[in-house]
Amino acid sequence: MDPSNQPQSAWNSSEKSGMLQPTPPPPEYHDNPAGYPPSFPSQPVPQGPYAQGPYPGQSVVAVQRTVFVTAAPQANPVPDYLCYSIFTMLCCCLPLGFAALVYSWSARDANISGQQALAEKNSKMARILNHVAVAIGLVVTVFVIVYQVFFKNNNY
């Protein structure tokens, strides 16, 4: 870096020598930081882990611990029929299989969050929809086979 290209105010060699000077010592420690009045030994000080200030008439505040409540997964979860729903959606009846899949996901979420009644209700609905979808798929498959065998092959 060439000092001749710099403006005169941007570089000053006398400023650098000031950086090597020792810094002043830090201020002394005070018992009353931020200007709080000092405590007096004649005033009673409340005892205990949560006692507040030493002034008379000042209430003592007890801090309570925070309690977190979380729902735990069930010990005996309700079956969610998720695989059955995927099978019926792909192989039997797409609309009913998709509805059963939604109920299966809801039953699984209710199992995880610990909601037994909701899990049972969604599981039962998923099972009913899956059974209906399989029945519809079987009936349609039988009709297609009968049609192919009896009505398509009668070309004599």
CB 96 within 8 A of CB 84: no
Domain ranges of the chain: 82-151
C-alpha–C-alpha distance, residues 132 and 124, integer Å: 12
| The overall pTM is greater than 0.85 | no
Condensed to tens digits (0 to 9), the pLDDT of residues 75-102 reads 888 999 999 999 999 999 999 999 999 9
Residue of 57, 36, 38 whose CA lies nearest to 46? 57
CA gyration radius for the chain?
40
pLDDT by residue for the chain (156 residues), tens digit each? 555 555 555 555 555 555 666 777 777 765 655 555 555 555 555 555 555 555 555 666 667 788 877 767 778 889 999 999 999 999 999 999 999 999 999 999 999 888 889 999 999 999 999 999 999 999 999 999 999 888 876 655
Q: How far is CA 104 from the centre of its chain?
A: 22
